[in-house]
Amino acid sequence: MDSLVEDLENEKKKLKLWIEGLREQVASQKSELRHLRRRVRDLETIPDSLAFRLGLACVLAVKSPGGFLKFPLRIGHLLGLGFQHISRLALRMVFPASFPYTRAELAKKLKAALDAESYEGLVTELSRLAGSAATQEEALAPVAFQFLMELDPKKSLEYARVALSSSVDDVQLLEGLAGLRNLARAEESLELVSSVDQLLSDFDLLRFSPEQLQTPEFQALLSEGLIRERARVQPDGKIARFVPSGYTLRRLRYEATYVSADSAETMLNQLREFAELPEESFASIGFKAFSVPAPERALKFAERYLELCPEDMTFYRKLAQFYFRQGMLRKPGEMFKRLEERRGEFSASGMIQGQISLLENGFSLPETTKRTPYEPASETSAFYLLHNSLPFASGGYATRTHGLLTSLRRIGRDIQAVSRLGYPTDRDDRFSLADVVDHEIDGVPYLRLPSESRGYGRIPLNSYLAAYGEAVHSKALQERPALVHAASNFMNGMAASYAARKLGIPSVYEVRGLWEVTRMSRQPSWQASEIYQMQVRMERDACLAANAVVTITEALKREMVSRGVPESKITVVPNGVDPSRFVAIEPDLELADQLGVRGKVVLGYIGSVVDYEGLELLLEASNILRAEKVPFAVVIVGDGAALEALKSKTIELGLYEIVQFTGRVPHHDVERYYSLIDITPYPRLPLPVCEMVSPMKPFESMAMKKTVVASDVAALAEIVQDGKTGLLHKKGSAQDLADKLKTAIENEGLRHALGENARTWVVEERDWVILARRLASVHDSVLEHPQALCVNA
């Protein structure tokens, strides 16, 4: 019997080993698949060095011959080169001589070269491939570097060292190193990033950021006005210089961000001279190059182009779209109208005219009437109109909505959520009409207003408001609310007042944020635009049309008063939290070990990674703390538009041993990460949107007894009582943020006291149930005196 048990145990171990091996194979295959996907993605995001791109294309050709020249096909677009010319030009940019080989032959020869076991063998193979066995080693080293930078990055650095020894000012090689560094960043290989930096340091080259080379040679070429890369040594010993035309537009668009407009214009002029482009092409390129970094310069090129080519309706449309993106209405409206007349095709003129009508005339609401047959389902029943909601959205807007509605129903209020007309199919292709069904989530009914043809952005905005109001009116006749409440933005507010007036019941408009202010914070010139002016008017009119107004901060209340809304009409109902859900929990030691933060004071951010959150300021403060030998770790959980720039900043500052980025994590894992965090920084920048709108996350942190360190923008200063429930730092100051973080890091007792006070405060002041009662009192007031606070827009 014992031997049988032993045999079974042995078989069990073998089976376990076999399963583990199978798992490793699966994991390896998944890893390789992720790597290949990432490589394809990186080919679109790595620096715009044609030589580097072609080097990678050659590497891909070894594994997939049919894929060769996929990227070089874009070369010569501006110069009007045919396919054969493009192929020959592409090959000369990578190899030191022309090649008469077919793609299949070239792939085969490349494979032989790459299979060489030694450096000497690779040089020999490349020399043979180049048709010149006498080619000097230093001329072939850069080629070897380009071939190996993806297949064997560490090995490629040996070839780069040989090449730099021969020619330290080889711009093409330096850009290749920049590309290798970016690939290392994408793969999160900090060791390789450090190796590239060390190589540059050995050759006394200035350190460069991932976004821009900072070598003297690169700057010298830039100051000449045109970046030209060096081709390899030809058999006759001459150096060929050429314009990398395949990426001209992207490079110019990028470079214009860093140099003066005059310098960038010089670049364009020299490009025109070199490429012998006609003036109209030059003007078109100038418009595209400047459209993002310098719009005012782009318009000068556009105007010149239209003087030369007044009948180019394709460019005319692009220019009209550009004007609209800058916030203009009347000018692009006229241009799109001309397109309709000239080409008899659909354009955006009608859509724009709808916004012009709102800017000039506002939105016409029906007169308030009392419809005798209409009887509400109950005295306090209400609709709650929303821009987005669960289960299709889960951000701060949806979180506030659900927190308030669940609590309102808990205290006995009969309230139903109603998402805007056409949501979510009008702005999100992931959903179809089949998904647009009513939901009940945690006892809260979420009603939908589906529409294929009348959704937001599909008809003129003034028409959409009327259609939305009618849809709410029809739904109200079925559900019979006594009041219609709407949360931002003005579209919901106007639809609420429209339906309420037709029914003879009151409406409430809740200002959670201002789209025009958010856009102005990203783009200061937006404040002078017509779209900004239209949105300012419509937000004011939505407040005036409602019987009562709610804002989420005192700062938003002040803003609406400054726009002409009576202060007596506005009640502040701030953001809150469910303290029964967010509670202090013991650290997840398994996760702590995975992240390497066990025993460390952890600064943690969980949320959207966007510019105005000020996370770059957090990195600068972390750099200050590191210099002062303060022990800590930083964990940033989340995704967003600023994530890559933040990673670049981390590497630039050398903080990769302190700062970790997890990316987006599953919702059910968020609390595990919260458990590791001691201090939650919210260093929001001094921008209008940050002054007015409060985030949701600080309330969650406070409920979990975390130490909150926040900037003193108005919206956060309303939440954090400095020195009692958290710490405030001077907005925009990395030094003051570092000082406050240091105080919290080095004083565990202070952290404990602040955390305890913070939870007590949110339980007493910011529980959703408390806030729901405050909102219910607003509803009761307008139900008792529906006309007392109503002002016609």
Per the CB < 8 A criterion, the answer to whether 191 and 199 are in contact is no
Largest Cα–Cα distance of the chain, in whole Å?
Answer: 100
- Domain 382-572 shares a fold with domain 589-766: yes
Pick the CATH number of 382-572 from 3.40.50.1820, 3.20.20.70, 3.40.50.2000, 1.10.150.120: 3.40.50.2000
Pairing between β-strand 439-441 and β-strand 444-447 as defined by DSSP bridges: antiparallel
Going from the C-alpha of 228 to that of each of 50, 219, 224, 242, 643, the distances in angstroms are 11, 12, 10, 6, 31
Distance from the Cα of residue 710 to its chain's centroid: 22
Q: Are strands 659-663 and 602-606 parallel, antiparallel or unpaired?
A: unpaired
Stretches where the chain sits below pLDDT 50 are 32-104, 106-107, 110-111, 113-114, 116-119, 130-135, 206-263, 274, 789, 791-793
Burial of 24 (0-12, 13-18, 19+ CB in 10 A): exposed
CA distances (Å), origin 160, targets 149, 165, 173, 382: 9, 8, 8, 70
Contact 677, 604 (CB under 8 A): yes
Model-wide pTM > 0.75: no
What's the CA gap between 489 and 502, in Å, rounded?
21
Domain ranges of the chain: 1-42, 44-206, 313-361, 382-572, 589-766
Burial zone of 429 (CB within 10 Å; 0-12 exposed, 13-18 middle, 19+ buried): exposed
Residues 505, 473: Cα–Cα separation, whole Å:
11
How far lies 298's CA from each of 330, 331, 519, 521, 573, in Å?
19, 16, 21, 22, 45
Beta bridge partners of 680: 708
| Phi, then psi, of 440 in degrees rounded to 5 | -125, 115
Which residues have C-beta within 8 Å of that of residue 542, sequence separation ≥ 6?
Answer: 486, 490, 493, 494, 497, 509, 793
**Interatomic CA distance for residues 602 and 588, integer angstroms:** 13
Angstrom distance (rounded) from CA 571 to CA 546: 13
Strands lying side by side in the sheet with 444-447: 439-441, 444-447, 415-419, 382-386, 483-487, 507-511, 548-551, 570-572
Return the CATH fold of 589-766: Rossmann fold (3.40.50)
Contact 210, 219 (CB under 8 A): no
Task: With CA atoms as reference, report the closest residue to 72 among 84, 64, 63, 62.
Answer: 84
Q: What's the alpha-carbon Rg for the chain, to the nearest Å?
A: 31
Q: In this structure, what DSSP letter does residue 367 have?
A: P
Contact predicate 647/715, CB 8 Å: no
**Which letter, b or e, does each residue of 77-95 get, where b requires 16 or more Cβ atoms within 10 Å of its Cβ?**
ebbeeeeeebbebbbbbbb
pLDDT at 148: 62
578-608 exposure pattern, b = at least 16 Cβ within 10 A, e = fewer: bbeebeeeebbeebbeebebeebbbbbbbbb
Residue 159 and residue 145 in contact, taking contact as beta carbons nearer than 8 Å: yes
Tens digits of per-residue pLDDT, 508-561? 999 999 999 999 998 888 999 999 999 999 999 999 999 999 999 999 999 999
The contacts of residue 374 (CB under 8 Å, 6+ apart) are: 477, 480, 503, 504, 505
**Helix and strand numbers, DSSP H then E, in the chain:** 33, 16
Phi, then psi, of 551 in degrees rounded to 5: -125, 160
Which string of b and e fits 99-122 if b means at least 16 CB within 10 Å? beeeeeebbebbeebbeeeeeeeb
**Which residues partner with 509 through β-bridges?**
486, 549
What pLDDT does 286 receive?
73
Helix (H) or strand (E) holding 507: strand 507-511
Q: What share of the chain is helix, strand, coil (3-state, %, to 5)?
A: 55, 10, 35
Distance CA 751, CA 450 (A): 49
> How far is residue 764's CA from residue 770's CA, in Å, rounded to a whole number?
8
Single-letter amino acid, residue 477: L
Residue with tokens 């203009």: 328
**96-138 pLDDT, tens digit each:** 333 344 444 544 554 454 454 444 555 555 555 544 433 455 5
